[in-house]
Amino acid sequence: MRYRKKPVVIEAIQLTPELFWEMYENKKAIFDKFTFCGQYHPPSRTITNAYIMIETLEGKMKAVLFDWIIKGVAGEFYPCKPDIFEETYEPVKEPSK
């Protein structure tokens, strides 16, 4: 049998260098459970091999710069590679207020 994925609107944010530094400097998580890893130098704002580890339903997963962090339908978070994200998701127009 063949199946079609149900259309579901998700929340996602791309792990850019700016977002990484915002999370690091504010010492607060945008995501429920994450750990900073790699080398980063706050005075010069240099990032080398920096990534975050996200506690997912399947265990810990690594998100590197420019990966997308997706909030799943049950409120869980998980990383997604940019090429897969682009093939799987498209922007949703926000309703006008």
Q: What is the pLDDT along the chain (97 residues), one digit of tens a residue?
A: 887 877 888 899 998 888 877 777 776 555 556 777 777 777 887 777 878 888 888 899 999 999 999 988 888 889 999 999 999 998 888 777 7
Does residue 1 lie in a domain region?
A: no
Q: Is there a domain that residue 94 lies in?
A: no
66 domain residue, yes or no:
yes
| 83 belongs to a structural domain | yes
Structural domain includes residue 18: yes
Q: What is the pLDDT of residue 62?
A: 93
Domains identified in the chain, total number: 1
Domain membership of residue 36 (yes or no) is yes
pLDDT for position 85? 94
Residue 24's nearest CA partner among 50, 60, 1 is 50
Predicted TM-score (pTM) above 0.85: no
Domain range spanning residue 31? 11-88
Which pLDDT belongs to residue 66? 94
